[in-house]
Structure 1
Amino acid sequence: MGKLTMRYTLKALLLSGLTIFTAGFLLAGAVQAQEVTIALPPGELGATTYNPVTASNLNSAASLIYDRLVEQDADQSFHPHLATSWTESPDGMTWTFKLHPGVQFQDGTPFNAKAVAEWIPDFAGTSNSYLTAAIDRVEVVDNLTVVFHMKHPDPNLLFNLSSVFMGVPSPTAYTKLGADYGVKGAVGTGPFKLKKFDVGLDTVLVRNDDYAWASDLSVNQGPAHLAKVTFREIPNQSTAFLDLKTGSVDMLMGVPTDFLSLLAAEPKIKVIQMPGTGIDYMPINVTSAPFDDIRVREATVLAINQDAIVKSVYNGVGMAAHNFLISSLPASKVDPKLDDSYDPAKAAHLLDEAGWKMGPNGIREKNGKPMTVKLYTQNGTEFTNLTQVIQAQLKAIGMDAKITVFDSSTIRDEYKKGTQQLAVRGYDWNNADILDWFFNGDSLGYPNVSMWNDPKGQALDKVAMAESKTSKERSDNFKAFHEYILSQYVFAPIYQPTINIAYNSNKITVSAAIRGPRFRSQSVVDMDVVK
């Protein structure tokens, strides 16, 4: 949500799911480990590494292990962190960063200009290379000053530097562990240290007692109040909800909307609602018949009743999505004629025109072959429910969609085969360059699940990514790319979620103001157990 996946998801971030914090304490007064359980949105399910340089998917634990040079607030402003200040030259060709003094990595080695200079080149050749692609070289001026010399201006640089994928790892640990970095160990400057990582199960973090350099997004500027945080993956959201209700866990992030009314009846449970930073959508494989016909793709898009989905699946919480970008981004403001909305009559006309005639059993046929297609989704209550509704809406226009549910850790490998036809998925990323992540012709299969490789589209993508000189120019260029993608019907927009967080106020305290676009390290360091 890439690149995202980029991306927080980032890529990632991410995709719909749960993060659960469990705080325990002894009657004698000693604070036990506070645990975090993640049965995540798609972008945070199935992370296989905590190597931010190479990962295509990172979960919330990464934001606690690593700090970033720059942090982004909920209003999309940028704040100092490991970098205390920065200046950009008028031509955009150099950026000078002053670094925070006295910072140490969790292995005791110093964070300094040399560490930054060694870190940036590591991105070359990785799926996240786009984050640093505009940086030509890093000059070490002194121990606490670096200059990024650019290949071309990059008005998105600060956003990239605030990404969870640009958490700064210890050069010493990175070199020592080699290919095992991120699995057998991960060392940053963050408020928590990685103690244990069982892929697909849980991640245990313990407090970094030396931490004294939080950003101004946190009230607490010293070590975290919590001694231990455990992230677990719980695919069954109903199980996680019951754990919160019975007091086994203390916080759920990404609470499904159909649980909100139930939580309202629990006096000890408080709910925080934040604007969403992603879209749920249905990629369409343009290389797989019948979707190699643009008329069939358009009909498929027009079959999706977004308003009905918001009402029936999400109980009226969140918004219908009509294009690929969250509504707060300027590049989402496309020509209204290109926004996609439900139109079953036009869908039927397009399928008739394409030679797909309605059969006696309600399934369309062409040349004696029924319109039967594959519809992929991943496990998790909310996504499987959504996929079943999509299946019914496709059936209404005569398309027989057969659902296959994949584990979140394997579905990306399935996409890479390129044999998918339709899929229901989502992303978590609050920047227009998510378009490059999912529609770049160099990444067919995954993250380009639509298998779309169009010369005009690739040219527009290149202009937006590499030839924009100002933020306004960049937004305009991404808007042009976005509009062209919409004209080709390579996906169906579905839903713009909210971020719903629930916690047990009898056990933990949470700051009233959540800083940042997501609930991450800046909020966790302020959390405490109720004394």
Structure 2
Amino acid sequence: MRSRSSLLIPALLAIGLVSGAAGARGATVLTVGLAGDPGVLDPAQSGNFIDRNVFAALCDKLIDTDAEMNYVPQLATSWEWSEDRRTLTLRLRDGVQFQDGTRFDAAAVKVNLDRFKTMPRSVRRAELAALERVEVVDPLTVRLQLSVPYGPLLAVLADRSGMMLSPTAIQQQGEAIAQRPVCAGPFAFTERVAQDRIVVDRFPGYWNAAAITIDRIIYRPITDSTVRLVNLQSGQLQIADQLAPTDVPAVQANPRLHFARHVAAAYRTLQFNVAHGPRADTPLGRDPRLRQALEKAIDREAINQVVFNGLFVPSNQTEAPGSRYWNPDHPVRGVDLAGARALLQQAGVSRSSFTLSLANSPIDAQIGEVIQAMAREAGFEVKLQQIESNAGNQQNLAGEFDAALLTWSGRSDPDANLSIWMACNGPFNFGHYCNPRMDALLTEARSLSEPSSRIPLYRQVVDLYRADMPQIILYHYTWLWGLSERVEGFVPNADGLIRPQGLKLRPQ
């Protein structure tokens, strides 16, 4: 096994080479340690959360979200729904240009949205399925015509489907634009060295240039959280993304560092196989009482304290406790072993055994072991199966699992946090749970745009999945960042993204 220092030295050398060259020009260079290497830098093809941190510097969106996931203007200054909720009209910001000098206008929006819908490799097609056509009303007005009312469209446009690439660059580069993306954001792409760095430089023609004071950002993929911490402590990083909870005390104890946090929309869940092939034909898969009993045996706060140093948020719903769509009728309760055993008895089961599939990471192993010990006290025998992520995904798609510990990075619209798992045709509904009443409620909620009208429907949805228990939601993440004392103006957001607007870096 390599020592910590052997992992650290290459990271320090590479950072020094790049930032040293920029520093010689007197540039202000911010170096960010990411938890992994971003994927494809094309909004149409991107599917990884980490990509979005780089996109936050490269590509402005039609709509953005603030720290609490409320929608705010970005490339679109305002938007308006038609009375039947089948037309969304966007008013665009004047005077915006892409990083190659191409003008941003309604025609550019049409080019991008049409590309997202028709490009063979686009992973945006499903989320834009309701978009029937894009109409250019005038240079600064675009009208989106939908086949059905679809309130979650705002959340879609506040993510990668709302990121605009230069039509000129699209025409010249095609799918190869991922190698050198050209957007309308505050920083322009400079270079990428796989597994080592992504470098972006300030775009002087940015429409909101006054909000940008940093000249260069270097994104460093450093998968080992301990190595990210050591680089932060040494001053080679100014921001360490996704701190491990166990590293937070070291940051808090260092007078040259700061710690920032925000409860995340992201959450972890135990999904059960209830109707997908022979593995579902078990007491746990057939009878919701067993799944309810297992939940009663799990002490979420104990998991939080043991695994996450008390920094995460115990949760039993797809929306974070206390947030807009959280259902207060279902508070997070502590362990209830007597209740768990009573439910097993009602189901005519003295003991139940199943396999819990986990990612092959130390954190998942620890979570699994804690759940295993808790469940044993109620009468469950849990076998842990750690498996590589891609292999685990294939296993889940094939229905070759009893229960699986899964992750969702979270979105600003409740539909995106629910339908993926619990709609009958949800793309991540690996266990084939299907409740027609829930599908009807989700469809009705999508047809509305006002939260006051949607909240009662989603509360009914929570009632249903809390009764059927197709999965046990365990906790919401807390985004954790370590910051150099030189960093000013950092605003932690619920989506976990590092936005460069307003960020400042004091001289050393």
Q: Structure 2 length normalisation: TM-score?
A: 0.83
| Distance in 1 of aligned mates of 2:98 and 2:392 | 35
Give the corresponding residue for 1:485: 465
1:53/1:166 contact within 8 Å kept: no
Cα deviation per residue 1:131-173 (whole Å; 9 max; x = unaligned)?
4344432221222221223444444443332224421223344
| Distance in 1 of aligned mates of 2:480 and 2:97 | 34
| Distance in 2 of aligned mates of 1:421 and 1:179 | 39
Secondary structure of 1:102's aligned partner: coil
Q: Spell out the pairing of 1:110-129 with structure 2 (5 A cutoff).
A: 110-124=103-117, 128-129=124-125
How much has 1:124 moved relative to structure 2? Answer: 3.4
Cα deviation per residue 1:357-393 (whole Å; 9 max; x = unaligned)?
34xxxxx5xxxxxx241322252x4444323322322
Distance verdict in 2 for CA 1:339–1:269, change over 3 Å: closer
Secondary structure of 1:138's aligned partner: strand
How much has 1:254 moved relative to structure 2? Answer: 2.3
| Distance in 1 of aligned mates of 2:333 and 2:295 | 7
Give the corresponding residue for 1:335: 329
Aligned residue among 74, 88, 96 for 1:81: 74
Give the corresponding residue for 2:232: 244
How much has 1:311 moved relative to structure 2? Answer: 2.4
Secondary structure of 1:497's aligned partner: strand
How much has 1:204 moved relative to structure 2? Answer: 0.5
Cα deviation per residue 1:428-484 (whole Å; 9 max; x = unaligned)?
32431110122233245xx2244323333322222222x325332222222222321
Give the corresponding residue for 2:56: 63
2:360/2:386 contact within 8 Å kept: yes
Which amino acid is 1:48 matched to? G
Quick check: 1:510 aligned with 2:476? no
Which amino acid is 2:107 matched to? K
Cα deviation per residue 1:82-102 (whole Å; 9 max; x = unaligned)?
113334445544433222233
| Distance in 1 of aligned mates of 2:101 and 2:399 | 45
Distance verdict in 2 for CA 1:442–1:139, change over 3 Å: same
Quick check: 1:462 aligned with 2:443? yes
How much has 1:58 moved relative to structure 2? Answer: 3.4
| Distance in 1 of aligned mates of 2:385 and 2:29 | 38
Give the corresponding residue for 2:274: 286
Bigger drift between 481-490 and 237-246 goes to 237-246
How much has 1:32 moved relative to structure 2? Answer: 7.6
1:278/1:497 contact within 8 Å kept: yes
| Distance in 2 of aligned mates of 1:98 and 1:405 | 49
Cα deviation per residue 1:22-58 (whole Å; 9 max; x = unaligned)?
794578673485432222xxxxx67532332344333
Give the corresponding residue for 2:39: 48
2:317/2:326 contact within 8 Å kept: yes
Give the corresponding residue for 1:13: none
Secondary structure of 1:396's aligned partner: helix
Secondary structure of 2:49's aligned partner: coil
Aligned residue among 402, 425, 435 for 2:406: 425
Distance verdict in 2 for CA 1:157–1:224, change over 3 Å: farther
Q: Kindly, what percent of the aligned residue pairs are identical?
A: 22
Structure 1 residues not aligned, in runs of 5+: 1-19, 40-44, 215-219, 359-363, 365-370
2:267/2:477 contact within 8 Å kept: yes
Give the corresponding residue for 1:232: 221
1:64/1:520 contact within 8 Å kept: no
Quick check: 1:397 aligned with 2:393? no
Higher helix share: 2
Give the corresponding residue for 1:471: 451
| Distance in 1 of aligned mates of 2:492 and 2:211 | 17
1:211/1:223 contact within 8 Å kept: no
| Distance in 1 of aligned mates of 2:305 and 2:436 | 39
Secondary structure of 2:458's aligned partner: helix
Cα deviation per residue 1:391-450 (whole Å; 9 max; x = unaligned)?
322333343333333445654444333323222233232431110122233245xx2244
Cα deviation per residue 1:500-531 (whole Å; 9 max; x = unaligned)?
211121xx32205x175345353366232525
Secondary structure of 2:273's aligned partner: coil
| Distance in 2 of aligned mates of 1:410 and 1:225 | 41
| Distance in 1 of aligned mates of 2:391 and 2:215 | 33
2:285/2:402 contact within 8 Å kept: no
CA-atom RMSD, angstroms?
Answer: 3.2
2:189/2:199 contact within 8 Å kept: yes
| Distance in 2 of aligned mates of 1:272 and 1:427 | 22
| Distance in 1 of aligned mates of 2:109 and 2:193 | 29
How much has 1:116 moved relative to structure 2? Answer: 0.7
Distance verdict in 2 for CA 1:311–1:515, change over 3 Å: closer
1:323/1:493 contact within 8 Å kept: yes
Quick check: 1:436 aligned with 2:419? yes
| Distance in 2 of aligned mates of 1:316 and 1:521 | 23
Which amino acid is 1:423 matched to? A
2:357/2:403 contact within 8 Å kept: yes
How much has 1:175 moved relative to structure 2? Answer: 4.9
1:280/1:496 contact within 8 Å kept: yes
| Distance in 2 of aligned mates of 1:207 and 1:73 | 24
Give the corresponding residue for 1:451: 432
| Distance in 1 of aligned mates of 2:387 and 2:507 | 40
Structure 2 residues not aligned, in runs of 5+: 1-11
2:33/2:219 contact within 8 Å kept: yes
Distance verdict in 2 for CA 1:303–1:96, change over 3 Å: same
